[in-house]
Structure 1
Amino acid sequence: MSEKAIAAKQEVVNEIKEKIENAKSITIVGFDKMDVEEITDLRSKFRQGNSEYKVYKNTMMRFAFQELGFDELTKELKGSNAIIFSNEDSVTGPKVAVDYTKEGDLQKEKLLIKAGLVDGVVQSSDQMIAIASLPNKETLYSMLANVTQAPIRALAGDLNNTIAKIALALDAVRAKKEESEQAA
């Protein structure tokens, strides 16, 4: 093999490694039974979710995974494979893939979620499917804010009720005093 060909292949491996390092998560999917139209449709769904669906040769992916120390992922590289790079949050890419498999019975067989990588930890197919069911980061932040605000809201409500009770008691004392003054 010529040096030029080796350099071109190393460039592809470096591209894969860079994309893996910059992604929040990656998902390896098999697409053996998909036609070009289905893949094009799927790519647009990933783009809408700020994820990237990219097909590389298995040998190039294998070299990239090995160089990054993710040898476990090389076992999944049989057949036609693609990598989904989730660039904004860890959930989006896997969620789009899982949603696609739920669109119809045929899609379940056509797109196969094989494995993934989230925060530097290798995940199995089942774990990636579970990750896809998680809410995205913004929703989690919102849920956390609501949980942390709940005690403050409860305290404010309790203080408000206490003040209202004091105001009612003072009003009752005032009314009783006026009543006793009028009687006298």
Structure 2
Amino acid sequence: MTTDERERPDGLAGEREMLEGWLEFHRATLAAKCAGLDGKQLRETSVPPSDLSLLGLVRHLAEVERGWFRRVLAGEDVPHIYCTEADPDGDWHPAEDDTWEEAYATWQGEIARARELAAATPSLDAVGAKRHRTGTAHNLRWIYTHMIEEYARHNGHADLIRERIDGAAGE
């Protein structure tokens, strides 16, 4: 596992460039934590009774990218990818036939769409077109900050899972 190809934002970058840079850094970190593992390893859970796996983390973050950028920021009416009424935590519960290739492609697709939507948003102060399911409104600055927090927290989980799988550890 190599994480040294990630780019940190310039320490003197402007606010938007800094937020975008740290989000990209954390996206790349999760990809690096998953690199080089096979499908079985990517499904390994952390510790019982947890359902937390690297595959589940990628699926979860695809849902999170979709929720904040497509639903909240852009107001798109898009369904959940993995979560259903029957299994609201379906992102954490891949079925036997769910593959890494599909999850990774879906995650990357959601990231690409998030980048497009954010780039089309003229200001960090721009408020999302829809309110979050909690009823609160959020501007792009808040969304970026939350996404960085979301990835950072889950990258800590990914680091522990990866270390348990094959001993690889890193920032």
Q: TM-score, normalised by structure 1?
A: 0.24
Structure in which a larger fraction of residues adopt strand? 1
Greater fraction of residues in helix: 1
> Which of these two proteins has the greater Rg computed from alpha carbons?
1
